[in-house]
Structure 1
């Protein structure tokens, strides 16, 4: 007698679903003639189990297996009227199978056949059957589904992380322990009553002639079926029924009934398990995790490990990469299996494969290597974000390092968004797996950072280029909305970050403009024209436009591009004017916000000491001037006569700062020392 037939006979004797995975393993071992110790050893290291199942069985202990076997023999003895022991199991089952009353349960056979069919369907949903790593995740999920009897297991993660693949692997590993396995995708937005009707037809012992039109009635029947049979239900692509461009977790209009269905699956008693995959978490699941934390579990599916990722790309034809190089590639794509697969296949197409692929590494490291298929995944996820979520993501791309909610809010125009809205939006981004938070700092994964940066650069360039002749005139505020809402760089950024912002954002923008205009001189003329147009607005809206234009002009030529420029009346935010030559620039009545003018304090301090010695200035009469809020410099009393023969670098010669606001008096004094004037 083989083990499968023995198990089938036992299932006709005992109540449905009585055999648990440990008992099944014991029956298989006993039929194979193994001792209890051999059964334990086989479960942990035996060749007939794959590494995943051995990991699940690592907690099997000899005493536990013996006790479980003894309980099973006692139960079978009571049901069969014959003494069943480990040594007599096969003989007793053979005897029972020859009795007139013995008959394999037709319903059990049909259930098993249907389960096998549905598992095959679920496995075939993944066209690529190769599976790498995830041993810890598989062990945890199997514990939840089989041993801890969770009713809902929710898999959440960014697109491409392998949620569907992981669910398929769980079906393949654990489906045999359930009476039925059903896989349904919500990608095509089935109405909840249609889905419930479909599930009821699959779970019904006999075909249903009529179904209740009431959702509550259908849910009641469904829960009853899930009580009767132990089923493994997979609902894939749950994000499809959630609304985009609003805070995460809200259902599409007309799909609110899924709230009742998911709540019933998670909170009403039954013996089945539903695995859900999604890019964001519905409010229903978040609430059910609080109400029934033992029955509803959630796992964030992150990237694969470096080792598994390296196996994956090699399976698709990538040569083995040097360890340090691979670590950076893995970190760039955050271990996203689909992104690694796309990058590998596309790189092979671009280079022909082999060692030639390594030539692309420098492009990836500099953020210049983005693949269209990966961008498509990120585009779909970005488009689901609400307006405030998109603003925060854009600013995280500008920050280039983890930023607190307070820092992000300070970047927004006029700080119109209240703190609680920022917190809610950041939490929503986290539930969508867009951001990560560590020690209070929010950030983007490298591949997401590269995508959002590229998206932002494209919008900056589109607004800076002149409109096509065929296009109707647009309102200036509508035309320059991105340019005025976001900074190309942050003047007050840390010294180590500012060059990164310039290299990653400002220079690529300028490079694209050069490719369209041909020369930097023409670009400079066009940018100055944009400032002149902006000055015609009444009132001039606050924002980053003027600061962005100034930063671009300084990058074109810090010594000449801004000379004689009229910047009067402009709100100037985040302009980095350090070391720029601003001769005769007119800042009359301009409003400055987070902009930097003066040179480093150490340079001014050294120069002023030299001047003081030459002129014999009383040191007690010096004025302390703050060039930056965190630094202190000393300058000459600007009212004292100065030695005309003494050479002092005056980068702000004749720069008009009459009526400026936003600068403290001591900084105005420092600017006047360097050549600025007030009428």
Structure 2
């Protein structure tokens, strides 16, 4: 068995489990393992840290173990693949026409030409015959490094699988890791559903376009199951009632207007309100997971009354998990690393941005981290600008007030300094809170150091423009 055959077989196995082909780093790890290199040698060859190579390797062995139904590790990878080739050859004539499951984007429980080498018991086999999985994960982003989110994963899994929640909002400030968490979640629970689809709202599809895409997905699989039957298209809610479905809507904030308080639908998109209302009210066995900076107002309004509606607001990583990011950048041992993590609120994207700046400037920037200096690399400013551009003028006024205060302030002081109606102030604070842009400590409000620094910079830039 040559290396090319090994990589092709491994790629088939990984694609069968994840719907994604081998990444360059995964392929390099397999090449090195086949040639009996250790992780340090592999890391040197691809110019990555040994810890990062080891982490990706562990994820890869886990994927292969799950797909083959046996323990796969760096030490037994070669023998496992050679044994698999022998088994494939002996079973080829018997299995070459079998397809374990259909997938619009090419995902299946087992690749078309790779039989299940560990046959399930009769009870499991009968269940799989009636519960074929259909996955369209073509729009799901590639899962990069995943830093510990064990409590959040456990919470979402419980809500979806045990409590059968119908509508879940996953929210948090930009860069906090919403999409990465959702990808990890889908990889873990996708086989519990008959249908799984990841749909990005980045292009702001109308409700008709969105529903047409989903109904087409359902109807295609039904036609393949019953080719001789002329299947009648059903309303979307009927499919959600008929099948156990998991539908992920990413970038849901694109449904809402800019320069408005959070959650106001753009003209022509108000019908999404009715869809989310149906998902909440009508009886069905499916789950919608909404990911975005903003969420529909009705989610926060009804979750206290409806046990099937939930919101999870992501906060930053803890020190141990965030330090793994610094370790990947070779900065795990810098002085005051815990203070750096705290200053950037454990936000993965913010930490990566600052780590890149420190790395590219040879580490001399760390001298600036001794005091309370907040570094705002240009790419981080671009990310924050995208979110700040969505704010209403009222919200910008409140942020400007908070940016001038080094300590948390209460409503009375904000009213006095801002000279605005109490109703306007309260609405602006509520909207900013839902956007995860302000922090509340009892009856006091404040900005994080990063957002305060950016707000001051943005205000100064705006004044210069005027």
TM-score strictly above 0.5:
yes
Counterpart for residue 651 of structure 1: none
Counterpart for residue 590 of structure 1: none
Residue number among 281, 285, 289 corresponding to 1:275 in the alignment: 289
Distance in 2, Cα, partners of 1:211 & 1:411: 62
Deviation at 1:393, TM superposition (A): 0.1
Counterpart for residue 399 of structure 1: 405
Q: Is the 8 A contact 1:239 1:280 kept in 2?
A: yes
Counterpart for residue 308 of structure 2: 295
Q: Is the 8 A contact 1:331 1:446 kept in 2?
A: no
Deviation at 1:383, TM superposition (A): 1.3
Residue number among 319, 339, 356 corresponding to 1:328 in the alignment: 339
Q: May I ask how many residue pairs the two structures share in their alignment?
A: 347
Matched, 1:359 2:367: yes
Give ranges in structure 2 of 5+ residues lacking alignment: 1-60, 67-117, 225-229
Residues 1:335 and 1:106: Cα distance change in structure 2 (over 3 Å): same
C-alpha distance after superposition, 1:131-159 (max 9, x if no partner)? 01111111111100111110111101001
Deviation at 1:207, TM superposition (A): 4.9
Matched, 1:184 2:190: no
Distance in 2, Cα, partners of 1:91 & 1:347: 52
Residues 1:247 and 1:91: Cα distance change in structure 2 (over 3 Å): closer
Cα RMSD, aligned residues only: 2.9
Residue number among 148, 165, 190 corresponding to 2:163 in the alignment: 148
Q: Is the 8 A contact 2:240 2:284 kept in 1?
A: yes
Residue number among 315, 318, 338 corresponding to 2:331 in the alignment: 318
Residue number among 447, 450, 454 corresponding to 2:453 in the alignment: 450
Q: Is the 8 A contact 2:329 2:359 kept in 1?
A: no
Residues 1:410 and 1:201: Cα distance change in structure 2 (over 3 Å): same
Q: Is the 8 A contact 2:294 2:435 kept in 1?
A: yes
Q: Is the 8 A contact 2:165 2:310 kept in 1?
A: yes
C-alpha distance after superposition, 1:36-76 (max 9, x if no partner)? xxxxxxxxxxxx999xx9xxxxxxxxxxxxxxxxxxxxxxx
Distance in 1, Cα, partners of 2:330 & 2:411: 43
Length-normalised TM-score, structure 2: 0.69
Deviation at 1:360, TM superposition (A): 4.2
Deviation at 1:105, TM superposition (A): 7.1
Residue number among 121, 125, 129 corresponding to 2:141 in the alignment: 125
Q: Is the 8 A contact 2:241 2:284 kept in 1?
A: yes
Question: How is 1:409-424 mapped onto 2 (pairs within 5 angstroms)?
Answer: 409-412=415-418, 415=419, 417-424=420-427
Residues 1:411 and 1:104: Cα distance change in structure 2 (over 3 Å): closer
Matched, 1:266 2:280: yes
Distance in 2, Cα, partners of 1:251 & 1:197: 20
Q: Is the 8 A contact 1:280 1:433 kept in 2?
A: no
Deviation at 1:93, TM superposition (A): 5.3
Q: Is the 8 A contact 2:255 2:266 kept in 1?
A: yes
Q: Is the 8 A contact 1:201 1:207 kept in 2?
A: no
Question: How is 1:101-116 mapped onto 2 (pairs within 5 angstroms)?
Answer: 108=131, 111-112=132-133, 114-115=134-135
Give ranges in structure 1 of 5+ residues lacking alignment: 1-47, 54-89, 213-217, 464-478, 480-679
Residues 1:166 and 1:104: Cα distance change in structure 2 (over 3 Å): closer
Give the structure with higher Rg (CA).
1
Distance in 1, Cα, partners of 2:458 & 2:329: 29
Secondary structure of residue in 2 paired with 1:399: coil
C-alpha distance after superposition, 1:154-207 (max 9, x if no partner)? 101001111001111110111111112100010110111110111111123435
Deviation at 1:411, TM superposition (A): 1.1
Distance in 2, Cα, partners of 1:411 & 1:283: 29
Q: Which has the higher contact order (CA 8 A, sep 6+)?
A: 2
Question: How is 1:557-636 mapped onto 2 (pairs within 5 angstroms)?
Answer: none
Distance in 2, Cα, partners of 1:181 & 1:397: 43
Counterpart for residue 408 of structure 1: 414
Distance in 2, Cα, partners of 1:173 & 1:444: 35
Residues 1:358 and 1:263: Cα distance change in structure 2 (over 3 Å): same
Distance in 1, Cα, partners of 2:321 & 2:440: 25
Counterpart for residue 202 of structure 1: 217
Residues 1:93 and 1:155: Cα distance change in structure 2 (over 3 Å): closer
Q: Is the 8 A contact 2:260 2:392 kept in 1?
A: yes
Distance in 2, Cα, partners of 1:235 & 1:311: 29
Secondary structure of residue in 1 paired with 2:402: helix
Secondary structure of residue in 2 paired with 1:155: strand
Secondary structure of residue in 2 paired with 1:437: strand
Residues 1:104 and 1:384: Cα distance change in structure 2 (over 3 Å): closer
Residues 1:454 and 1:270: Cα distance change in structure 2 (over 3 Å): same
Matched, 1:286 2:300: yes
C-alpha distance after superposition, 1:65-93 (max 9, x if no partner)? xxxxxxxxxxxxxxxxxxxxxxxxx9995
Counterpart for residue 175 of structure 1: 190
Distance in 1, Cα, partners of 2:411 & 2:207: 38
Deviation at 1:308, TM superposition (A): 0.5
Counterpart for residue 149 of structure 2: 134
Secondary structure of residue in 2 paired with 1:240: helix
Length-normalised TM-score, structure 1: 0.48
Counterpart for residue 434 of structure 1: 437
Secondary structure of residue in 2 paired with 1:206: helix
Question: How is 1:466-485 mapped onto 2 (pairs within 5 angstroms)?
Answer: none
Deviation at 1:350, TM superposition (A): 2.4
Counterpart for residue 356 of structure 2: 345
Distance in 1, Cα, partners of 2:193 & 2:381: 39
Q: Is the 8 A contact 1:288 1:296 kept in 2?
A: yes
Distance in 1, Cα, partners of 2:171 & 2:189: 20
Q: Is the 8 A contact 1:155 1:275 kept in 2?
A: yes
Deviation at 1:447, TM superposition (A): 1.0
Q: Is the 8 A contact 1:197 1:211 kept in 2?
A: no
Q: Is the 8 A contact 1:158 1:434 kept in 2?
A: yes
Deviation at 1:106, TM superposition (A): 6.3
